[in-house]
Amino acid sequence: MIRIIIKKREKELPYAYSSTIVILVSIFLSLVVLSFFGINPMIALWEAFVLPILTVYGWANILYNGLILLLCGVGLVIAFKAGVWNIGAEGQMLMGAIAATWVSLYLIPKAPSIVMIPSMFIVGFLFGALWGFIAGVLKAKLGVNEVLTTMMLNYIAYQIVYYLVMGPWANPATSYPVSKPFPEQAWLLSVSRPLPVSVPTLILALTIAPLVHLMLFRTKLGYEIRAIGSNPIAARTYGISYAKAVIISMLLSGGLAGLAGVHAVAGSILTPQLRRPEQVSRGFGFVAILVAWLSGIKPLPVIFTSILMGLVFLAGFAIQISFARGIGSTHLFTGVMLLILSIMETYRRYEISVRIHALRRILRWF
């Protein structure tokens, strides 16, 4: 007889411990899966995880991905702390990309960089915040499930981008669905030519993470957001507004994803311009959920988990290119990581033991 005993831990395992296990096990299992498709796991490990960190070009891609994931991840931490499951960072990011394109090409196309770049980020924040605000109001005022609304808003944002790059904002110089290139004063200043990483986004991201930490753990608003997320009934009893906490958390969460959208187009390693939605977002909004959870739903560790996931995100594309595999290999690492994270989250909170009584009885005969 097999008996499975599940017992709640007196003290939960630390996130640093569980996250390390999740990352290592996920990489190992992903390489095992790749071996079934004729890919040498040792070569794949070298090509996907070691080689990128040994080259300047690799770091450029890691940091480009990581900055997007950092901004989206910190935004998701705010929403998750409020108990709101924002699955819409993808759409909120696309709205920020639309805002950057509108500002640079149509609103103030001849403005100098000192005016253009802050304007793109401000309007990008507002566009992303609007997308989060819609879902927040629907949840707070009408009780509409935020998972459904944010997912549907993702698809609406996708279609808006498709419409713009194939319609009124299409580049007449090419038949490919892209906008006209941004004017040079809208290009985000990079660290250097060999390392084309956006300086404004880097400063912004590294500033926002500690500011959000201070907001969540040192201000009244942050206390209200955390209280609503941990125990909404008790929070309401003490006079904390549920609607206020939910709407503000979604507004901030969407706004930060909007900033990531500005970086995705204006800080692109390629020519800065609006492209098809899958070329702008590439699933960053969903991967950012992993970034937030691996950080323990805390803004400061997101700085590290976002860079790590930037490498993992790049690893999928490296394998896709090196071994001529389909786009499914790109999502293998993140998919396996999500599965292991779900299992580890349970193990972090509960002790699981297996007892085989039948084996004991058999052993008694000997």
102-157 residue pLDDT tens = 999 999 999 999 999 999 999 999 999 999 999 999 999 999 999 999 999 999 99
Please give the pLDDT value at position 194: 67
In sequence order, which residues have a C-beta less than 8 Å from that of residue 54 and are 6 or more positions away? none
pTM, whole model, 2 decimals? 0.89
- In whole angstroms, give the CA distance from residue 289 to residue 337: 11
Please give the pLDDT value at position 10: 74
For the chain, list residues with pLDDT below 50. none
Q: How many CA atoms lie within 13 A of 133 on its CB side?
A: 10
Residue 269 maps to which CATH number? 1.10.3470
Residue type, 2: I
- In whole angstroms, give the CA distance from residue 344 to residue 290: 13
Please give the pLDDT value at position 2: 66
Number of domains the chain is built from = 1
Cα 213–217–220 angle (5° rounding)? 120
Q: Please give the structure tokens belonging to residue 63.
A: 């940091």
| CA neighbor of 255 nearest in space, from 64, 69, 75 | 75
Distances, alpha carbon 310 to alpha carbons 48, 57, 74, 77, in Å? 12, 13, 15, 18
- In whole angstroms, give the CA distance from residue 350 to residue 8: 4
Alpha helices in 143-241 (DSSP H): 146-166, 199-218, 220-230, 232-237
| CA neighbor of 48 nearest in space, from 310, 330, 331, 319 | 319
| CA neighbor of 246 nearest in space, from 128, 81, 130, 75 | 81
How confident is the model over 23-50, as pLDDT tens digits? 888 888 888 888 887 788 888 888 888 8
Structural contact between residues 340 and 29, judged by C-beta atoms closer than 8 angstroms? yes
Please give the pLDDT value at position 71: 96
Structural contact between residues 135 and 153, judged by C-beta atoms closer than 8 angstroms? yes
Q: Which residue has the tokens 């993808």?
A: 90
Q: Please give the structure tokens belonging to residue 136.
A: 């927040």
Please give the pLDDT value at position 348: 76
Please give the pLDDT value at position 121: 96
Structural domain of 175: 2-364
- In whole angstroms, give the CA distance from residue 55 to residue 151: 37
Residue type, 251: L
- In whole angstroms, give the CA distance from residue 230 to residue 81: 8
Number of CB atoms found within 10 A of residue 77's CB: 30
- In whole angstroms, give the CA distance from residue 177 to residue 152: 23
| CA neighbor of 234 nearest in space, from 83, 116, 131, 346 | 83
Q: What is the DSSP letter of 321?
A: H
Please give the pLDDT value at position 88: 93
